[in-house]
Amino acid sequence: MIRILGFFVGLGFCGVLAYSLVIGAIAFMNEEEAAPTAYDYHHHAQDVSFSSDGPLGTFDRQQLQRGFQVFREVCAACHSLEYVAFRNLTDLGFSEAEVDAIADQWPIQVPSIDPQTGEDTTRPAVASDHFPLVYSNQRAGEAANNNAYPPDLSLMTKARGEGAAYLYSLLVGYEDAPADLPEELQPGTGLYYNSYFANLNLAMPPPLFEGQVSYADGTEASVAQMAHDVTAFLIWTAEPTMEARKSTGWAVLIFLIFATVLAFLSYKNIWRDEKH
């Protein structure tokens, strides 16, 4: 009797499973294809390399100077470098006199206080100053840029998931929207299509054009070259001590290897007469 009852219970479970399988298969076949989303058009960062990549990577000073030129002539009108001081530019190969001149001629002056009246005023920057902010506050930045606040670029290559490659891809990634792009994903007023940006529509207009700057070393100022140079410069602003960190790391690694070998030889010498 118990065997018969167990047989019917098992048969019932099998029936329920078979019914669910058939219903699921029918629902899958009749399911309408989902509408494309921004994810379907989004591209991951391009595979691009820099001289600073890898454990032995170093900065290319000439490229950093070109990148600073692109930042100064193109990016600095909207973006700031809040965490970088003018004097840090000596690391790029500029002399102290050149840094003093760059700071003094910077188009945005540093906030200060009039020593006579105590009122707020501004003064030309000096080498010890950090790069002054472009906008006095975020609301002022949004008002001047179609409600999109231009971010500070000091740490930008570390602030994005794909790092420097993302930044480079974004700079060269402006293009016309695909013909099959859904209406709801089309760039709105004041927006520009860029498949490397998460939601495809970027408020920043294409910042780079062929020949936009004139490099003193004769390098051709193509969009890709300028994007690569300014990205290399922003890698440096995010970690200007990278080379020292890598050098220290190698020194520590060599010391640890030496200490390990020395400890092993000491162990063999001290316990050479003992049976293990």
* Whole-number percent of the chain with pLDDT over 90: 74
Helix runs in the chain, H state only = 2-30, 38-41, 61-70, 96-104, 138-144, 156-159, 163-172, 223-238, 242-270
Contact between 52 and 232 (Cβ < 8 Å): yes
Which tokens hold the place of 34?
A: 């989902």
pLDDT at 1: 67
More confident residue, 246 or 32: 246
pLDDT digits (tens, 9 = 90+) for 214-231: 999 999 999 999 999 999
Which tokens hold the place of 107?
A: 């188009």
Q: How far is CA 207 from the centre of its chain?
A: 16
Burial 59-87 (b: 16+ CB within 10 A, else e): bbeebbbbbbbbbbebbbebbbbeebbbb
pLDDT confidence tier of residue 212, bands split at 50, 70 and 90: very high
Q: Count CA atoms within 13 Å of residue 94 on its CB side.
A: 21
Torsion of CA 81, 87, 90, 95, to 10 degrees: 130
Mean pLDDT throughout 163-167? 96
> pTM of the full predicted structure?
0.84
pLDDT at 13: 74
pLDDT digits (tens, 9 = 90+) for 21-33: 877 777 777 777 7
Give strand pairing partners of 174.
194
- C-alpha 52/C-alpha 60 separation (Å) is 8
pLDDT confidence tier of residue 276, bands split at 50, 70 and 90: low
One-letter identity of residue 204: M
Q: Is the dihedral of CA 44, 47, 52, 56 positive or negative?
A: positive
Which tokens hold the place of 189?
A: 């007023």
Reported in sequence order, the residue ranges of the chain that DSSP labels E, i.e. its strands, are 110-113, 120-123, 192-193, 201-202
Instruction: Return left, alpha or beta for 63; rule: phi > 0 is left, psi -120 to 50 is alpha, else beta.
Output: alpha
pLDDT at 7: 74
pLDDT digits (tens, 9 = 90+) for 170-202: 999 999 999 989 888 999 888 999 999 999 999
* CA 137 vs CA 80, 119, 149, 253: distances in Å: 12, 19, 10, 45
Measured from the Cβ of residue 222, the count of other Cβ atoms closer than 10 Å reads: 15
pLDDT at 11: 78
pLDDT at 31: 73
Measured from the Cβ of residue 132, the count of other Cβ atoms closer than 10 Å reads: 18
* Whole-number percent of the chain with pLDDT over 70: 99
Is 106's pLDDT higher than 70?
yes
Contact between 141 and 134 (Cβ < 8 Å): yes
Query: Based on C-alpha coordinates, what's the Rg of the chain?
Result: 30
